Amino acid sequence: MNILIVGGAGFIGSHTAERLINKGHHVAIIDDFSTGNEINIPFINHNDIFSIKIPVLHKRTIEDLMIERLFETRKFDAVVHLAAQVNVRKSIDDPLSDSISNISGSIYIFELCRKYGVKKVVFSSSGGTVYGESNVLPTPESHVKRIPSSPYGIAKLTVESYLNYYITNDIFNAVILRYGNVYGPRQTEKCEAGVIAIFLRSLFRGESPIIFGDGDKTRDYVYVDDVVDANELALDLEWNACNTFNIGTGKETSVNDLFNKINNKFDNKFTAIYEKERAGELERSCLDISYSRNYLNWSPKTNLDDGIQKTYEWLKEKEFN
C-alpha cells in the first residue's frame, strides 16, 4: 500500500511509519518539524520526507502547491493523519491559531484526498477531550457529546464531523481513532499530554516534577505500540458502520498514582511540587474499548507498569546515558 503519514516525524507518527515500512508498505511523510524530529525517522528514505507546513484553506501558497503536487504524483492509497497542534494550553490562549492548524489544515488534506482518489483516511482524534466531563466511565463512543472543555477538543470533534460528511457521501472511507493519553519512547516534553515523559525527564535531571491541582485527576494511559497496532488495523479495516473507535485501556490512573509509579524507579527520593490547577482540564477520563475489541479486533497488550519501564529504559539509554 502507498501511504502518506501527515505528522510522520512525530511521536506516534514515527512509530507508525516504522511499523508500516517493516510490513512492506511504501511510506511518505509530511511534517513541519514543530514537534517532530528527523532523529525519529532514520529508517525512512529522505526522498520520502517532506518538510511542509499544511497551509490555510483560503491561502494559496508555495507550500500549498507542493502538497498538492505530492498527492498528484504519489497517488496515495491511504492517508494517516496524525498532525495537530496538540497543546491544550495554547488552544485556550489562541483558539484562532488552533483552529487554523487543526480544523482548516485537516480539511485541506481531506479535500486533496477527495481530488486525488485516496481510498482511506485514518484520523487521530482525542478520547481524552471530545467527551467533555463525562458522567459515564469508562466512556463509550456512543455517549452523548458535551462541549469539550478546550478549543483543542472542539477542533477534534469538528474534524470528526467533517470526516463523517465525507463518509456519508461516499467520498472516501475513514476511520476515527479516539486515543487516550498516549505515552512511550520518542515522546517529547513539548506535548503537555506527555506527562509520563515530563515526569521521567524531570526525575532523571534530579528535579521534582510539578503537579497542577491536587493530583487526583485521572486519565487513561495507553502505550504507543498499542496505538500503532490500532493504526495498522484501521488501515486494513473494510468499511464498517462503526467507524469510530476508542483506543485506550479502560483503566483510570490519577496523576498522583502515576507519579508514585515513576518515583519508584528512582527509589522514591522525590517529592512532587503542587501548583495551581490549570483551566480546561477534565477531572476524569477513561475510555470504554468494547467496540474496538469487537469491531476493530484490537485491545491493548501493554500494561502501565510495563510501559513505564520500557519508556524509562529508552530514556535512560538515549538521553541520560
What residues are labeled active site? 152
Dihedral of the CA atoms 66, 71, 72, 78 (nearest 10)? Answer: 170
- Sign (positive/negative) of CA torsion 6, 8, 10, 14? positive
Taking the C-alpha atoms of residue 43 and residue 30, their distance in angstroms, rounded to an integer, is 15
Contact predicate 152/98, CB 8 Å: yes
3-class state of residue 255 by DSSP? helix
Query: Strands (DSSP E) along the chain, which ranges?
Result: 2-6, 26-30, 49-50, 78-81, 120-126, 173-179, 181-183, 210-212, 218-219, 221-223, 244-247, 253-254, 273-275
Query: Strands (DSSP E) along 32-113, which ranges?
Result: 49-50, 78-81
Taking the C-alpha atoms of residue 146 and residue 144, their distance in angstroms, rounded to an integer, is 7
Q: List residues bridging with 236 in a β-sheet.
A: none
The three-state (H, E, C) secondary structure of 138-180, written as one string: CECCCCCCCCCCCHHHHHHHHHHHHHHHHHHCCCCEEEEEEEC
